[in-house]
């Protein structure tokens, strides 16, 4: 795999001096067209062998292009706020919006490779990390991003020479650290792991470009030209063709997961009062368990209009200390959110450890309202199922309890509640013309809900379907389920704050 990058590629000074001004102007020009149009972001990953010129390459790109529309992220040691969240959070927060270039020196590949070389993780762990990386890149590309990955290569001899040369020159001596020499000792292992990583993650949508790092002229021109070429081609594309499997067919009989719910379930007022006190008390105690500060809880509410999400949420928050929870009402995305991949606006609300966050509506909007109202393309919502499963798997992996509620009411019950809202002045604001319009599409929404549950109710993050015709019954079922899920997590072995096995 690295053979072509050990041939001794070289560009003489004269050719370089001739070509660079032309390349720079073209790069700058393409970048500005890209920045002004602001239709997609560019993610550039620069990885490779120590001494192969990663830092120099990145500095050069900053020099050649307009630094105003470019941001470089040297993803070094994570901050405590980053360690308190799933590993990918720090990359999500650094993603460039449309019209900007984000250069990552140190990426989602860095720590998996290093940890594997040092024997801190097994091959299976590495493979899992690479799976996550690939899915992230696939999502980025599907969202329109241009993803370019460079691997700067040096043979073992050349690495040795390079480190020695840098050390000899007083001006560059600072660049060679003890860690560089340690890595040199592990060159063979490092290369073997890197080879495997590149092989597994050179996907059709985001392939690696391996560049020989010995000759700076060759390296610079290659990286610059690859970027220019990809950018120009992308700018020339008029339309991105999306490929998606056809949407799922509705059940061919009348049986679906919602039809199996017994909406007649109810409890009386007295039982409700008793159970409410019991489970609120339990929830209060659970969140004060000393181990609670090592976990995170996300409770997520979806449901028919007027199914009682607000009331259920208030019964949860009523049991909690206001310092430890946060309610995120999901509304239309803001301008900054629209310039990012779909899941970005949910990643930004992922809480630190020890906190409980309630989402009032959620990332499932894409496969519910956006699907039904055609706010996104079929390809967008079809791929959302796996993106969401992947997102939730990352949360669970970080000891986040995620409890997903679908509050289900019958069509008749909804009509009753709408009419009630119409007549009671104080509840009037809750009913909008949109609610009536949604109601007309009852069957289409129901199909979307069934597809959603079929495709995203996973073992690690199952849906809890709540029979909500009776508000008392629904609230108790929700509180009880939440308590149970938190209890299970608190009893899990090994729940404690592990600040830094950076194996994500």
Residues that bind a second copy (CB under 8 A): 25, 29, 32, 36, 55, 58-59, 61-63, 66-74, 79-81, 103, 105, 174, 288, 310, 313-314, 317-318, 320-327, 329, 334-336, 358, 360, 426, 429
DSSP state of 430: G
Of residues 67 and 144, the one with the C-beta less far from a second copy: 67
CA gap 401, 298 in Å, rounded = 6
Compute the least distance from the CB of residue 196 to a second copy, in Å.
Answer: 27
Q: Which stretch of DSSP H or E encloses residue 160?
A: helix 156-168
CA gap 122, 323 in Å, rounded = 39
Let me know the angle formed at the C-alpha of 152 by 149 and 154, rounded to the nearest 5 degrees. Answer: 155
Let me know the angle formed at the C-alpha of 307 by 301 and 313, rounded to the nearest 5 degrees. Answer: 45
Compute the least distance from the CB of residue 391 to a second copy, in Å.
Answer: 22
Of residues 60 and 139, the one with the C-beta less far from a second copy: 60
Contact 478, 315 (CB under 8 A): yes
Of residues 250 and 329, the one with the C-beta less far from a second copy: 329
Rounded alpha-carbon distances, angstroms, from residue 106 to 44, 49, 149, 201, 471: 11, 12, 11, 16, 51
CA gap 276, 248 in Å, rounded = 40
Q: Strands 42-48, 101-105: parallel, antiparallel or unpaired by DSSP?
A: parallel
Of residues 62 and 209, the one with the C-beta less far from a second copy: 62
Enter the tokens of residue 204. Answer: 């059709």
Compute the least distance from the CB of residue 101 to a second copy, in Å.
Answer: 11
Of residues 25 and 422, the one with the C-beta less far from a second copy: 25
Closest of 198, 236, 227 to residue 109, by C-alpha:
198
Of residues 185 and 334, the one with the C-beta less far from a second copy: 334
Describe the strand order of the beta sheet including 101-105 as a list of residue ranges: 70-74, 101-105, 42-48, 146-153, 208-212
Of residues 243 and 500, the one with the C-beta less far from a second copy: 500
Compute the least distance from the CB of residue 81 to a second copy, in Å.
Answer: 5
Compute the least distance from the CB of residue 72 to a second copy, in Å.
Answer: 4
Give the Cβ contact number of residue 403 at 10 Å.
Answer: 21
Closest of 317, 358, 261, 8 to residue 153, by C-alpha:
8
Of residues 74 and 247, the one with the C-beta less far from a second copy: 74
CA gap 295, 84 in Å, rounded = 9
Of residues 287 and 481, the one with the C-beta less far from a second copy: 287
Compute the least distance from the CB of residue 98 to a second copy, in Å.
Answer: 12
Give the Cβ contact number of residue 469 at 10 Å.
Answer: 23
Compute the least distance from the CB of residue 12 to a second copy, in Å.
Answer: 24
- 209 - beta bridge partners? 150
* Sign of the Cα pseudo-torsion (367, 370, 374, 380, in order): negative
Of residues 43 and 358, the one with the C-beta less far from a second copy: 358
Closest of 47, 54, 55, 222 to residue 133, by C-alpha:
47
Compute the least distance from the CB of residue 475 to a second copy, in Å.
Answer: 15
Describe the strand order of the beta sheet including 400-408 as a list of residue ranges: 325-329, 356-360, 296-303, 400-408, 463-467
Tokens 């050990």 — which residue?
A: 6
Of residues 78 and 201, the one with the C-beta less far from a second copy: 78
Compute the least distance from the CB of residue 364 to a second copy, in Å.
Answer: 17
Contact 49, 213 (CB under 8 A): yes
């Amino acid at each position: 795999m690295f053979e072509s990058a050990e041939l001794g590629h070289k560009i003489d000074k004269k050719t370089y001096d001739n070509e660079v001004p032309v390349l720079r102007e073209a790069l700058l020009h393409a970048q500005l067209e890209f920045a002004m149009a602001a239709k997609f972001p560019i993610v550039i990953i620069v990885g490779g062998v120590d001494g192969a010129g990663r830092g120099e390459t990145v500095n050069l790109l900053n020099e050649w292009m307009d630094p105003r529309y470019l941001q470089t992220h040297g993803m070094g040691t994570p901050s405590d706020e980053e360690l308190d969240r799933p590993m990918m959070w720090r990359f999500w927060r650094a993603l460039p919006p449309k019209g900007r270039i984000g250069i990552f020196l140190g990426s989602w590949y860095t720590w998996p490779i290093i940890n594997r070389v040092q024997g801190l993780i097994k091959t299976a762990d590495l493979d899992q990390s690479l799976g996550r990386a690939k899915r992230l890149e696939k999502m980025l590309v599907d969202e329109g991003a241009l993803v370019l990955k460079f691997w700067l290569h040096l043979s073992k001899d050349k690495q040795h020479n390079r480190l020695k040369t840098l050390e000899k020159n007083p001006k560059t001596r600072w660049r060679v650290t003890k860690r560089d020499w340690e890595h040199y000792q592990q060159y063979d292992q490092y290369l073997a792991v890197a080879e495997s990583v590149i092989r597994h993650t050179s996907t059709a949508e985001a392939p690696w470009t391996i560049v020989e790092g010995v000759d700076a002229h060759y390296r610079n021109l290659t990286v610059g030209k690859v970027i220019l070429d990809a950018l120009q081609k992308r700018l020339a594309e008029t339309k991105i063709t999306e490929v998606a499997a056809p949407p799922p067919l509705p059940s061919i009989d009348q049986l679906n997961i919602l039809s199996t719910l017994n909406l007649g379930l109810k409890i009386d007022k007295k039982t409700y009062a008793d159970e409410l006190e019991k489970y609120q008390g339990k929830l209060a105690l659970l969140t004060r368990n000393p181990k609670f500060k090592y976990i995170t809880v996300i409770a997520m509410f979806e449901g028919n209009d007027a199914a009682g999400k607000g009331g259920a949420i208030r019964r949860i928050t009523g049991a909690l200390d206001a310092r430890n929870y946060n309610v995120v009402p999901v509304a239309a995305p803001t301008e900054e959110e629209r310039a990012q991949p779909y899941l970005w606006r949910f990643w930004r609300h992922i809480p630190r450890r020890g906190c409980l966050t309630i989402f009032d509506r959620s990332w499932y909007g894409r496969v519910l309202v956006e699907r039904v109202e055609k706010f996104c393309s079929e390809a967008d919502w079809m791929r959302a199922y796996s993106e969401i499963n992947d997102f939730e798997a990352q949360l669970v992996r970080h000891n986040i309890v995620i409890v997903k509620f679908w509050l289900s009411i019958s069509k008749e019950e909804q009509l009753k509640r709408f009419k009630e809202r119409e007549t009671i002045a104080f509840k009037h604001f809750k009913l909008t013309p949109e609610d009536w319009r949604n109601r007309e599409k009852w069957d289409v929404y129901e199909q979307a809900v069934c597809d959603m549950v079929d495709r995203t109710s996973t073992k690690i993050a199952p849906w809890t379907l709540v029979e909500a015709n009776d508000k008392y019954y629904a609230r108790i079922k929700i509180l009880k389920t939440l308590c149970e899920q938190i209890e299970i997590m608190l009893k899990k072995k090994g729940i404690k704050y592990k600040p830094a096995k950076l194996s994500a």
